[in-house]
């Protein structure tokens, strides 16, 4: 058909169909009609025509969208093309050749007709051939090149030239106080984007980024809901100060564990001094920069949910009732051998007598625990306490966001809810989060913005502290012949079977000892950005972080345990903190003569932090009704306590980024920090760094190279500091502890000096050298980023001994140096890429070597950690295990030799290292270390049409685990249940066993720390497998959706390891009194890690 009106000229870019029709109406007397459901909101129309009829314009546009039009007078009706027309639309053969920018043919490029299933690939000469309809669009794509669209006209043959895809190199990476193009990076920075994090549903950011960045070791401290991860970037930088990285959230320091992972746009990890020196005293342990999502573009509503089933990944093999009683009989029989005097004096109760008379050794009254069956006593109960305590649990995560833009105002509202039920009964976490962002362009020179967020966490924790109250320990050690509850409703207790000590009923413990944790966190920041001229702007930001925690505790009137002592107790610990940060940044960008690119950033920052805590405790509560809600209901009010600390920091910093010809890169950074934590003469310190980079692939001798598409060597050196010491570390502290004095026969409280002052206390400094290489092959089909680093920390803060005449044992001072070095790389490959299928891989690898290079007092050893288990020794790794070597068990043919050491056949045979005929401290040696030699992750991603499959494997090698819990659950028998490994202990008939002969715990059992408890900590873990499906866009349109994605995933699928405990990725020694740097991989009894199966859905409207 044709139209009477004349031709028109029209130019539009990235508009939808409705906008185009309005423009045509403006330029002609035509009016359009169409059904609302045909309104196409995709802004995919761009054209510029001169002197074309409306007919020609509509034919060009509507044919691509499967539409047609009819005209009545000056009215044009638009509708979907009828099936008959679609079937009879003429097709023709379309041929062509696909080449690169140099005219060389591209083999295997995907060529398809957009919006259809018609497609092919180019042959060895780059040629293709397919059937298409005039007006349709050919889509050409290939790895390493930018995709290209060609409209089919009346031509039948096309020559298509594709350009290199530099999107990966032009990707913007967030760094300290700014951003930089990835190709211009001179430092070592790892990045994880939102879409990568969403492949692995989790309740914390640290879980989401685990294993994705080389040089970053993220280990799970606990499997409990809300259990935090330990993050270490390139090893340990300190012994006594913190090893935690600095967390920056939208420019303000904060805690990433309270953030909703769905709110995150990207996470950048700054690893070398070039990238971290801009943070000065807080950068020695690396910096994690979190950028949250903000509103932009058109109004979008997104909802996503994850529903998860958590299951028990591993149970430990413990004695059942029959085995427990058999072991008890063996223990009694062996008591005469190992403690003849005690046995003769009646120190040990004959189990057969005890079972006949339930009152023997029973202080709480008679309980029916046995019955006669077949002429012998058999137990009434056979309880598996792991089955009683553990469960399959459910978790749910819901997130809802509203984002959009109204021209000059961008806004976003983000809401989240998490309910995570733990696999140990009564443990759970509930979190509510909300965040609002607004960015307002007031004028062409002024922009304002703010972010306000609130998070509330309610958690019920079970006790995993070292000691009697530890629930996982009770699951293993509680005897199996006592029930959870008797018929009268009372709990079964260890005392119900005489002679039992140690663990009690774990279900009674968690029901009678309530430990909730409530946290409220408010974070907010506001900024003003002033643009003075092109390339020159100033940004001022103020941020506030307010945290209020309440941690009550209640031990019921029915409980037998209060810190190991019978009775009931209630306490409340309240703490609150306030952090205020004010930063001012002047930024200048310029390009001179198209060859020189310069960025200069000048900044000033002031920070204030304060913390307050108070604790109230009462004993002897009259009724469980009161718990901690009425602290006046107890008979005894213990002395309350409170604590206040605060510090301030003032900083000035600058950074210069310069590039010449977009090839030669220079970065220079400096920061001048002052902190109130240090002595007056050492409060300020300067932390510089410099880095060089060379984009060699842009040189004439490599440009256009078909194999090497990117080559950039990098080198950097600089200094950072560590201010993570006690607030008043340089001052003498006043204390009331141990300061009571008798006056007139009355004991009065007093105040005295609690620690020595050291006004010379100064910063720990870490110098770091880094050399790196970024490589890309075959247009980034293969890419590699590799780094080698050396970190040397000096002036480490240690507690050095002082003369006893001072009245103190030690003083905090700067004596000690430590060195970390390692090699790390991330390799990305596109293994297969066809029209419908692709396979890509990512492998990261990190090695780590730690060495103490200097210590106080003439480099003398310092024995640390619980029970003097680890040692600091010059030339060795921090956290080295220090103990005895076990050479098996003394045999019967070695009785005379064993007697020299006061031992009997069946006793542990410890090595006499110095051959002085006695076993003492001089025989202790370094047994291994808790830090791995290397670790990493292998991820494979498969995509087929709208499906994708992600498989992640995690590995770690070279560490040792000291299972300290074996001391009570395998090597100390007779007072509790044990692991089944005690069935393979030494006997005259089994003299090759590694465990000594079973005996009563108080009959000289071996309590020395030896390598019988030391295990290989290497492992391979099936970390995550996730299957996803994206609903095709044409179906989404019919459902009035922008996108719909569903996923099925499983985490912690399997573990290959020689470690017999719950999990080789173990926690540090579980107490706040020990620094984890030298208590790494000491396992007591932690919360077991679950295996999780999840279903997820992500819907965008």
400-457 pLDDT, tens digit per residue, is: 999 998 878 999 999 999 999 999 999 999 999 999 999 999 999 999 999 999 999 9
Q: pLDDT at position 256, please?
A: 84
Q: Convert 1018-1083 into a string of H (helix), E (strand) and C (coil).
A: CEEEEEEEEEEEECCHHHHHHCCCCEEEEEEEEEEEEEEECCCCCCCCCCCCCCCCCCHHHCCCEE
Reported as a pLDDT band with limits 50, 70 and 90, residue 1071 is very low
Average pLDDT over residues 575-585: 95
Rounded distance between C-alpha atoms, residue 793 and residue 768, angstroms: 9
DSSP secondary structure code for residue 28 in this structure: S
Task: Flag the least confident range among 282-286, 750-754, 773-777.
Answer: 750-754
What is the pLDDT confidence band of residue 379, given thresholds at 50, 70 and 90?
Answer: very high
Query: What's the chain's average pLDDT?
Result: 86
Instruction: Please check the confidence at residue 565 and state whether its pLDDT lies above 50.
Output: no
Determine what percent of the chain is predicted with pLDDT higher than 70: 91
Kindly tell me if the per-residue pLDDT of 393 is higher than 90.
yes
In this predicted model, which residue has the larger pLDDT, 536 or 705?
A: 536
State the residue for tokens 């890690």: 1089
CA distance linking residue 441 with residue 444, whole number of Å: 7
CA atoms of 763 and 760, how far apart (whole Å)? 10
Position 18 scores a pLDDT of 82
Confidence band of 154 (pLDDT split at 50, 70, 90): confident
What mean pLDDT do residues 451-468 have?
A: 87
Closest CA to 437 of 666, 233, 198, 263: 263
User: pLDDT higher for 789 or 636?
Assistant: 789
Distance of CA 414 to the CA centre of its chain: 22
Strand partners, 813: 798
Give CA–CA dist 171/182, Å, rounded: 5
What is the pLDDT at residue 598? 93
Which of 672, 680, 628 lies closest to 652, judged by CA?
672
pLDDT digits (tens, 9 = 90+) for 839-856: 999 999 999 999 999 887
Q: What is the pLDDT of residue 39?
A: 58
Q: State yes or no: pLDDT of 364 exceeds 70.
A: no
Mean pLDDT value of segment 733-752: 71
Helix or strand holding residue 242 (H, E): none
Residue with tokens 């494979």: 940
CB 1013 within 8 A of CB 967: yes
Model pLDDT, residue 634: 80
Give the confidence band of 167 by pLDDT, cuts at 50, 70, 90: low
* Rounded Cα–Cα distance for residues 876 and 398 (Å): 48
Rounded Cα distance between 690 and 668, Å, is 4
**pLDDT tier at 738, thresholds 50, 70, 90:** low
Percent of the chain with pLDDT over 90: 43
Residue 688: the pLDDT is 95
CA distance 663 to 952: 36
Q: What is the pLDDT of residues 37-80, one digit of tens each?
A: 555 667 778 887 877 888 888 887 887 777 888 777 677 878 77
| Domains by residue range for the chain, with CATH | 8-87 (3.55.50.30), 90-165 (2.60.40.1120)
Tokens of 589: 């960008």
pLDDT at 174 over 50: yes
Is 101's pLDDT higher than 90? no
The model's pTM: 0.82
């Amino acid at each position: 058909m044709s139209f009477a009106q004349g031709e028109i000229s029209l130019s539009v870019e990235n508009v939808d169909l409705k906008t185009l029709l309005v423009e045509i109406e403006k330029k002609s007397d035509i009016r359009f009609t169409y059904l609302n459901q045909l309104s196409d909101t995709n802004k995919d129309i761009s054209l510029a025509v001169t002197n074309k009829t409306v007919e020609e314009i509509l034919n060009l546009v509507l044919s691509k969208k499967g539409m047609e039009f009819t005209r009545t007078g000056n009215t044009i009706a638009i509708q979907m093309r009828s099936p008959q027309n679609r079937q009879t639309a003429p097709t023709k053969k379309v041929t062509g050749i696909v080449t690169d920018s140099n005219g060389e043919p591209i083999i295997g490029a995907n060529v398809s007709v957009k919006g259809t299933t018609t497609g092919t690939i180019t042959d060895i000469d780059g040629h293709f051939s397919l059937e298409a309809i005039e007006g349709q669009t050919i889509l050409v794509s290939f790895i390493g090149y930018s995709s290209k669209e060609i409209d089919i006209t009346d031509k039948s043959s096309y020559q298509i030239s594709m350009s290199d895809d530099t999107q990966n190199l032009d990707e913007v990476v967030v760094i300290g106080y700014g951003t930089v193009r990835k190709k211009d990076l001179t430092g070592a920075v790892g990045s994880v984007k939102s879409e990568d994090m969403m492949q692995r549903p989790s309740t914390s950011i640290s879980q989401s980024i685990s294993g994705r960045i080389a040089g970053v070791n993220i280990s799970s401290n606990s499997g409990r809901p809300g259990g935090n991860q330990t993050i270490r970037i390139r090893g340990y930088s300190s012994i006594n100060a913190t090893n935690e990285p600095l967390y920056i959230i939208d420019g303000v320091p904060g805690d990433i564990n309270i953030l909703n992972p769905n709110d995150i746009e990207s996470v950048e990890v700054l690893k070398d001094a070039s990238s971290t020196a801009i943070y000065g005293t807080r950068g020695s342990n690396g910096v994690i920069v979190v950028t949250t999502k903000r509103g932009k573009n058109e109004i979008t509503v997104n909802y996503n949910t994850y529903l998860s089933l958590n299951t028990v990944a591993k149970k430990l093999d413990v004695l059942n009732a029959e085995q427990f009683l058999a072991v008890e009989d063996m223990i009694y029989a062996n008591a005469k051998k190992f403690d003849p005097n005690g046995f003769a004096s009646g120190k040990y109760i004959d189990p057969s007598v005890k079972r006949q008379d339930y009152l023997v050794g029973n202080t709480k009254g008679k309980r029916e625990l046995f019955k006669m069956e077949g002429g012998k006593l058999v137990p009434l109960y056979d309880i598996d306490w792991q089955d009683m305590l553990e469960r399959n649990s459910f978790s749910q995560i819901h997130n809802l966001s509203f984002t959009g833009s109204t021209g000059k105002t961008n806004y976003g509202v983000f809401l989240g809810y998490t309910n995570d039920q733990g696999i140990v009964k009564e443990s759970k976490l509930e979190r509510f989060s909300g965040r609002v962002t607004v960015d307002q362009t007031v004028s062409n020179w002024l922009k304002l913005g703010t972010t306000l967020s609130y998070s509330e966490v309610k958690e019920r924790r079970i006790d995993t502290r070292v000691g009697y109250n530890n629930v996982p320990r009770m699951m293993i050690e509680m005897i199996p012949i006592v029930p959870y509850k008797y018929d009268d409703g009372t709990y079964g207790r260890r005392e119900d079977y005489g002679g039992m000590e140690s663990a009690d009923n774990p279900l009674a413990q968690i029901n009678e000892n309530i430990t909730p944790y409530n946290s409220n966190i408010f974070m907010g920041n506001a900024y003003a950005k002033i643009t003075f001229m092109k390339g020159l702007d100033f940004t001022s930001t103020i941020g506030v972080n307010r945290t209020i925690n309440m941690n009550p505790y209640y031990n019921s009137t029915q409980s037998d345990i209060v810190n190991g002592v019978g009775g009931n107790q209630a306490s409340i610990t309240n703490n609150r903190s306030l952090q205020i940060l004010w930063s001012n940044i002047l930024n200048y960008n310029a390009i001179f003569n198209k060859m020189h690119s310069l960025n200069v950033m000048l900044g000033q920052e002031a920070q204030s932090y304060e913390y307050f805590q108070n604790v109230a405790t009462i004993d002897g509560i009259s009724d469980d009704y009161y718990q901690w809600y009425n602290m006046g209901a107890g008979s005894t009010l213990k002395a309350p306590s409170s604590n206040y600390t605060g510090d301030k920091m003032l900083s000035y910093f600058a950074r210069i980024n310069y590039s010449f010809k977009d090839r030669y890169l220079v970065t220079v950074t400096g920061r001048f920090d002052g902190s109130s934590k240090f002595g007056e003469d050492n409060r300020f310190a300067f932390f510089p760094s410099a880095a060089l980079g060379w984009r060699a692939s842009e040189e004439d001798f490599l440009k256009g190279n078909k194999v090497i598409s990117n080559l950039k060597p990098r080198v950097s050196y600089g200094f950072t500091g560590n201010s993570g010491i006690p607030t008043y570390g340089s001052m003498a502290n006043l204390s009331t502890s141990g300061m009571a004095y008798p006056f007139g026969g009355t004991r009065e409280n007093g105040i005295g000096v609690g620690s020595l002052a050291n006004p010379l206390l100064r910063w720990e400094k870490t110098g770091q050298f880094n050399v790196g290489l970024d490589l890309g092959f075959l247009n980034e089909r293969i890419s590699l980023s590799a780094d080698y680093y050396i970190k040397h920390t000096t002036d480490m803060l240690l507690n050095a001994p002082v003369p006893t005449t001072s009245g103190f044992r030690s003083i905090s001072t700067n004596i000690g140096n430590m060195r970390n070095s390692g090699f790390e790389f991330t390799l990305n490959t596109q293994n297969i890429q066809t029209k419908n299928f692709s396979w890509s891989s990512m492998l990261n690898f990190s090695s780590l070597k730690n060495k103490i290079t200097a210590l106080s007092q003439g480099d003398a050893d310092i024995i640390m950690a619980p029970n003097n288990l680890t040692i600091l020794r010059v030339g060795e790794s921090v956290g080295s295990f220090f103990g005895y070597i076990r050479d098996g068990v003394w045999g019967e043919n070695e009785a005379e030799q064993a007697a020299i050491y006061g031992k009997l056949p069946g006793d542990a045979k410890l090595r006499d290292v110095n051959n002085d005929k006695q076993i003492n401290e001089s025989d202790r040696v370094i047994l291994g270390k808790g830090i791995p030699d290397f670790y990493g992750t292998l991820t494979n991603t498969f995509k087929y049409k709208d499906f994708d499959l992600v498989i992640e494997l995690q590995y770690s090698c070279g560490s040792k685990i000291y299972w300290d819990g074996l001391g009570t659950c395998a090597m100390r028998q007779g007072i509790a249940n044990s692991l089944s490994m005690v069935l393979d202990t030494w006997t005259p008939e089994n003299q090759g066993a590694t465990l000594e002969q079973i005996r009563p715990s108080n009959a000289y059992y071996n309590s020395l720390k030896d390598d019988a408890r030391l295990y290989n900590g290497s492992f391979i873990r099936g970390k995550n497998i996730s299957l996803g499906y994206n609903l095709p866009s044409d179906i989404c349109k019919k459902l009035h959706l922008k996108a719909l994605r569903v996923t099925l995933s499983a985490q912690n699928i399997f573990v290959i390891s020689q470690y017999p405990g719950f999990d080789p990725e173990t926690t540090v020694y579980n107490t706040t009194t020990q620094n984890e740097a030298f208590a790494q991989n000491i396992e007591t009894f932690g919360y077991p890690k679950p295996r999780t199966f999840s279903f997820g859905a992500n819907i965008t409207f």
